[in-house]
Amino acid sequence: METRNALPEMKEAHGQAHHHANPGPIAADRTQTPAAPYRPVAVSHRRSRRNHPQPVTRSRSAGERSAGAVDHGHKGVTASGAVERGWNGETRCLRLVAAAAGVRDHGRMPLNSYRFRSVWSVDCPPERAFEVLADLGSYPSWWREVRDARQVAEQAAELRCRSVLPYELVFQAHHNAREPEAGLLRADLVGDLDGTVSWRIFGEDAGSRLVYDQEVVVRKPLLRRLALLGRPLLKANHELMMRSGQRGLRAYLAGFQAASGNE
């Protein structure tokens, strides 16, 4: 009898054990699987070609290519712009070499342009100094470096000058201002020298003070080709010529005064 009563209990216990060992589908769904590792999604910042179309590059025509347009890989670069940048770079290089050679570039003046100023003092009245300086034909008489003067018009003469350096400058001087009362002489230069030259004459004690200003561009081909290296030499050559002119004018005026005293 005890065996029969124990048999149903064993079956019930076996059924409960089987229920725990094999859970049903509902229990299986409640189990959690391990989460996958977090991977950030890369976001592209590129503009979409569909939403943001790229600018269209216009191809050059045959006429533009023949006109000399140059493509340097930069937008807006043309042949003229490239040449301009090239000349600017070359000019900066020339200035650096000129500075090393002792040439002072005042106001970035081109190498073939010059400004000169000289101040002379002579022992004669301003009227007499004006008369001598206004007579272009008499310059070879007292200025050694003025080798020849040829009258070409009433108010113009062609001058041939040579100082220490072995070259000549030939140009014409045309008076455009001749004012004795104001003590002003001014002339335009045309030829190997293009520009203007002026004398201003002031009374000073018993004599006169003469202010010489010259602003010219050298046109002589040889001097233009040698402008970089020859500029300091040309300026020194001009300075020697002006010193010689002052000595010559003083001696010339002294001769006139001596002749006047003997009379």
233 lies in a domain? yes
Residue 255 near residue 262, CB atoms below 8 Å: no
Q: Look at residue 17 in the predicted model and tell me its pLDDT.
A: 47
- What's the CA gap between 238 and 236, in Å, rounded? 5
152 lies in a domain? yes
Is the sign of the CA dihedral 186, 168, 242, 138 positive or negative? negative
- What's the CA gap between 261 and 50, in Å, rounded? 104
Report the percent of the chain where pLDDT is more than 90: 48
- Asked whether residue 187 carries a pLDDT value surpassing 50, the answer given is yes
- Asked whether residue 144 carries a pLDDT value surpassing 60, the answer given is yes
230 three-state secondary structure: helix
The DSSP secondary-structure symbol of 23 reads -
Q: Which residues pair with 149 in a beta bridge?
A: 159
- pLDDT class of 93 with cuts at 50, 70, 90: very low
237 lies in a domain? yes
- pTM of the predicted model, to two decimals? 0.58
Q: Which domain holds residue 242?
A: 107-262
- What's the CA gap between 146 and 197, in Å, rounded? 15
Please provide the distance, in angstroms rounded to a whole number, between the alpha carbons at the two ends of the chain.
187
- What's the CA gap between 250 and 142, in Å, rounded? 9
Mean pLDDT over residues 92-106, rounded? Answer: 45
63 lies in a domain? no
148 lies in a domain? yes
Two structure tokens written together for 167:
């070259």
137 lies in a domain? yes
Q: Look at residue 216 in the predicted model and tell me its pLDDT.
A: 97
Tens of pLDDT, residues 196-230: 999 999 999 889 999 999 999 999 998 998 888 88
209 lies in a domain? yes
Q: Look at residue 63 in the predicted model and tell me its pLDDT.
A: 44
122 lies in a domain? yes
- The number of distinct structural domains making up the chain is 1
Neighbours of 108 (CB within 10 A): 7
Mean pLDDT over residues 109-124, rounded? Answer: 93
- Asked whether residue 11 carries a pLDDT value surpassing 80, the answer given is no
CATH of the domain at 176: 3.30.530.20
Q: Which residues pair with 209 in a beta bridge?
A: 121, 202
Q: Look at residue 3 in the predicted model and tell me its pLDDT.
A: 45
Residue 147 near residue 245, CB atoms below 8 Å: no
Choose between 80 and 14: higher pLDDT.
Answer: 14
What is the tally of helices (H) and strands (E) in the chain? 8, 7
Choose between 204 and 60: higher pLDDT.
Answer: 204
- pLDDT class of 87 with cuts at 50, 70, 90: very low
